Amino acid sequence: MIPARTSPEIAILGHPNEGKSSVLSTLSEDDSVKVSATPGETTECRTFPVIIDGQEVLRFTDTPGFQNPSRVVVEMRKIAEAGGDSVARFRAMFKDNEELHDDVELMLPVERGAGIIYVVDGSRPVRNVDRAEMEILRLTGRPRMAIINCKDDDFGHLDNWKNEFRKNFNTNRVFNAHRATYAERILLLEALKSIDQDWQPTLDIVVRAFKADWAARNHATADILLSLLTECLQYHVSGTISEGTDSAILKDRLKNSYQKTIEEKERKAHEQIRTLFKHNIFKYQLPPHSMLNEDLFSERTWHLLGLSKKQVALAGLVGGAVVGAKLDLLTGGASLGLFTGIGSAAGAFGAMFGGKKLSSTSNILGLQFGGEELKIGPATNINLMLILLNRAFLFYQHTINWAHGRRDYTTTLPEPVDTAGSAGLTNNWTSDQLRICKSYFKAVTENQEDQIVESGEKLTTLLTETLAEISKHE
């Protein structure tokens, strides 16, 4: 007898090529699990521990698919009639039988006490071999759950499958290995509790550990975002105009350097979030219309993620300015380009300063002139902050909902439709929530240290709550 392990083990069983490894990869958030279009490639079991805070809380075991279920079911019936541990006896009897190699191997975790998740592709009809496999699993007497992974999104056979499952399994669920979101993963784990009463307390702890871990990741994401905002909002570049300097060239150079640096900071923050959510090989294709395909400073990005008229007014961000209003030209401080809303992005194109046309992005960023110095940044309006936040929320949404078992990087995820401001989550924020952003923006850009800490804490809470809200959607 193989000794029982302390963390619960779940073996993923099923016919070859039905999506066992994909389900395991998604459930364990492990994208190193081998998923293959060729049936029968796996011939040995492989165990993947789920580790939270350095502790193994659960382990999943990937198995070869059933090789000869029609014969195994006949043998298992005979063995079961005789009584005793049918799994151990079956394995002992056929351990040297080549024809049943995979069948003997896949029972290994079951022999050591693993619970069973049986995976079928529900987009095809139930066959006799499936019935044989289900009976084998029933004869093991182990806690078991069936998962219907509809590979082709065809749900026409679902009722037939469910009927078969009722006879043989404690519970069943539809779970798509490629599209399961975080919320659906948690629901599946919750459902797993019902496979056996004895398992409930342990699986309760596992589900709680998963949820706590997720909350910790959201908090860490909020911290990453806060650092990104602080760095970007404070960032500035400057250059001196001396005799012979072509100020237009200098402006261009400064603007490019400013944008590149901010873009790089954003890219790094997104990379950190990706790592936090354990995506190592993930290089998905974003939807063709995704904002994240656009440069941070492209006009379209700002249009789609931009502030709505209502939001600007609510936040009192630009003191009564309306969308499409002309740019504020501040004297004294000589800062140009208080970007007053999405409509003015286009208007800004035609803005004139000192007889020279400035490009829209310079205006958006706030190009400051002071004596002989040309300076871009620190940010002069809150839009940069909101754009960075909205893009991060989109990135987060894609990341958490990209199932680890998915390997087809060509199909895409939905994103909001292409209308002004629609993709900007902050457009739905209340004036209180926007006020938190505004306080933080002011504190950072005016370098008020105590305010930075205080408003930073409030902003972190707001961000963490927003991320939790995004994760709730299935």
Between 42 and 168, whose beta carbon lies closer to Mg ion? 42
Residue 111 interface partner, choices ligand GDP, Mg ion, none, CB cut-off 5-8 Å depending on type: none
Rounded CA-CA distance 417/383 in Å is 21
Calculate the CA 173 to chain-centre distance.
Answer: 22
Q: What is the DSSP letter of 3?
A: P
Residue 281 interface partner, choices Mg ion, ligand GDP, none, CB cut-off 5-8 Å depending on type: none
Rounded CA-CA distance 474/469 in Å is 11
- Locate the DSSP E strands across 371-470: 373-376
Between 178 and 255, whose beta carbon lies closer to Mg ion? 178
Between 347 and 405, whose beta carbon lies closer to ligand GDP? 405
CB of 1 to Mg ion, least distance (A): 27
Q: How many residues belong to the site for Mg ion (CB under 5 A)?
A: 3
CB of 141 to Mg ion, least distance (A): 25
Between 119 and 420, whose beta carbon lies closer to ligand GDP? 119
Rounded CA-CA distance 174/189 in Å is 13
Site string for ligand GDP, 376-415 (x = CB under 6 A): -------------------------------x--------
Q: Is residue 287 part of the contact set for ligand GDP (CB under 6 A)?
A: no
336: amino acid identity, one letter: L
Rounded CA-CA distance 349/360 in Å is 5
Q: How many residues belong to the site for ligand GDP (CB under 6 A)?
A: 18
Contact 211, 472 (CB under 8 A): no
Angle between helices 449-472 and 200-234 (to 10 degrees): 140
Among the listed ranges 20-28, 183-191, 310-318, 449-457, the one in contact with Mg ion (CB under 5 A) is 20-28
Between 205 and 413, whose beta carbon lies closer to ligand GDP? 413
Backbone angles phi, psi at 242, to 5 degrees: -115, 180
- Locate the DSSP E strands across 322-459: 328-329, 335-338, 352-353, 356-357, 367-370, 373-376
CB of 174 to ligand GDP, least distance (A): 11
> Which residues within the stretch 155-184 sit at the binding site for ligand GDP (CB under 6 A)?
176-178
Rounded CA-CA distance 249/242 in Å is 13
Q: 138 vs 76, 82, 130, CA distance in Å?
A: 10, 16, 12
Contact 438, 382 (CB under 8 A): yes
Residue 363 interface partner, choices ligand GDP, Mg ion, none, CB cut-off 5-8 Å depending on type: none
Residue 151 interface partner, choices Mg ion, ligand GDP, none, CB cut-off 5-8 Å depending on type: ligand GDP
Among 67, 69, 61, smallest CA distance to 21 is for: 61
Rounded CA-CA distance 178/19 in Å is 9
CB of 173 to ligand GDP, least distance (A): 14
CB of 217 to ligand GDP, least distance (A): 25
Q: Collapse the DSSP code of 352 into the 3-class scheme (helix H, G, I; strand E, B; otherwise coil) and give the result.
A: strand
> Which residues within the stretch 8-67 sit at the binding site for ligand GDP (CB under 6 A)?
14, 16-22, 35-37, 65
Angle between helices 449-472 and 182-192 (to 10 degrees): 60
Between 16 and 49, whose beta carbon lies closer to Mg ion? 16
Site string for ligand GDP, 455-474 (x = CB under 6 A): --------------------
Candidates 11, 21, 58, 184; binder of Mg ion (CB under 5 A) is 21
Residue 274 interface partner, choices ligand GDP, Mg ion, none, CB cut-off 5-8 Å depending on type: none
Site string for Mg ion, 32-51 (x = CB under 5 A): ----------x---------
Burial class (CB within 10 angstroms; exposed 0-12, middle 13-18, buried 19+) of 448 = middle
CB of 149 to ligand GDP, least distance (A): 5
> Which residues within the stretch 315-334 sit at the binding site for ligand GDP (CB under 6 A)?
none
Site string for ligand GDP, 121-160 (x = CB under 6 A): ----------------------------x-x---------
User: 297: Cβ–Cβ under 8 A, 6 or more apart, which residues?
Assistant: 259, 262, 263, 361, 364
Residue 265 interface partner, choices Mg ion, ligand GDP, none, CB cut-off 5-8 Å depending on type: none
Residue 16 interface partner, choices Mg ion, ligand GDP, none, CB cut-off 5-8 Å depending on type: ligand GDP
CB atoms near residue 243 (< 10 Å)? 4
CB of 41 to ligand GDP, least distance (A): 7
Between 106 and 394, whose beta carbon lies closer to ligand GDP? 106
CB of 199 to Mg ion, least distance (A): 24
Q: Collapse the DSSP code of 10 into the 3-class scheme (helix H, G, I; strand E, B; otherwise coil) and give the result.
A: strand
Residue 65 interface partner, choices ligand GDP, Mg ion, none, CB cut-off 5-8 Å depending on type: ligand GDP
Among 383, 374, 415, 370, smallest CA distance to 397 is for: 415
Chain residues in the site for ligand GDP (CB under 6 A): 14, 16-22, 35-37, 65, 149, 151, 176-178, 407
